[in-house]
Amino acid sequence: MILPRLHAEALVRPRRAAIDPQIARAAAEIVSAVRAGGEEALRRCAERYDGLAQADRLIYDRADLEKALAGAPQEAQQRLERIAGRIRRFATAQLDSLQALTIPVAGGVAGHELAPVQGAGCYAPGGRYPLPSSALMTAVPARVAGVETVWLASPRPAPVVLWAATVAGVDGVLAAGGAHAVAALAFGAGGVPAADVVVGPGNLWVTAAKQLLAGEVAVDLPAGPSELLVIGDASSDPLLVAADLLAQAEHDELARPWLLSTEVSLIEAVEAALGRQLADLPTAATARAALAGGGAVLCRDDDELVQLANAVAPEHLQLCTAEPDRLASRLRHYGALFIGDRAAEVFGDYGTGPNHVLPTGGAARHTGGLSVLSFLRLRTWMRGADGPADDELIDDTAWLARQEGLEGHARAALRRRLR
């Protein structure tokens, strides 16, 4: 059996486990080494962990990137520009939907404004295959948000990653990965400036380093092994469902593809389609391992489908049903929702517009995906009104301060009445 049959209880996992203590300790040592040793320590780590040769370039500045893009095939440039344009358009629409605020308050007016962070560090994994999509998905929203300085870290960056980084508008690329790259983005090292926020998907070392540095810099969501939960019914095309599950499964052996349905016939048809499509899939070995870690659940009815999907809170949730909107209105927890079989999850991965850096491991219950909002700060302000002081505001402030034993607070409020 390619896609194991599971009981509903087996799909509802405990919340994300903590990082393995050994990885956490080792990542902490790497972060401390880069903090203390700067570029020299960073290069040592890159040579040890990333396979960077002594003669290899560690940092690509903007001039290097422009030169790399100039040498790219015209077709590659055009496609990357087109994909970046879709991501940029969606991020711009997000930004335009946000508003500054001004309202009358006791004693004057108050409000908020949205301001970008000054520097962002973005991460694009460099495992079995280059991931130019992550360069675009992280750096383009940062630029749309108005971030002044944007750098990308990626171990052993392939030419296409450098091209994508250039199109996305980064200032430079650090040819390093793992905990040492996250530390370099956070603290600065060599020509890499310190960032205010570090974002992007990565392995357990990247996640561990982010957790260590949270508070010193802002970090984004936990983006671990990828997940796709497909809900299907009698109307679903098993060939499409199988193709979507395989697309998710080929990411990584730890990826989690799941299928929920009230129709046993669909589950059986998808199983058969998986077998045929795996036959000539170049990434079949990885996909088979991931499928074996996923599974299919036969549900009693739509209520159980919805309850189970909400309990899992998957990274990607795809509705391949006859009436997807009817289910969509009842679903509460997911990183990204794909409504109808024409809204393929792979379109979300590769540049329809919404971001593909999404919460995994149930984190969608409390956080959303990367977006232009990830690079913005909400800053509040207050302006006092001219004329007589607001006695009620002064008295309430003084009273509450004294309830907390803070007489200095009370007196600071009361002095406003004397002016």
> Which residue numbers are catalytic?
315-316
Q: How many residues does the chain have?
A: 419
* CA 282 from centroid of its chain's CA atoms: 27
Look at the block and give the residue holding tokens 């409390």.
Answer: 366
146: left (phi over 0), alpha (psi -120 to 50) or beta: left
Look at the block and give the residue holding tokens 């549900």.
Answer: 299
45: left (phi over 0), alpha (psi -120 to 50) or beta: alpha
Q: Do 107 and 389 touch, CB atoms closer than 8 A?
A: yes
Rounded CA gap, 291 and 298, in Å?
Answer: 16
Burial of 373 (0-12, 13-18, 19+ CB in 10 A): middle
376-384 vs 108-116, strand pairing mode: antiparallel
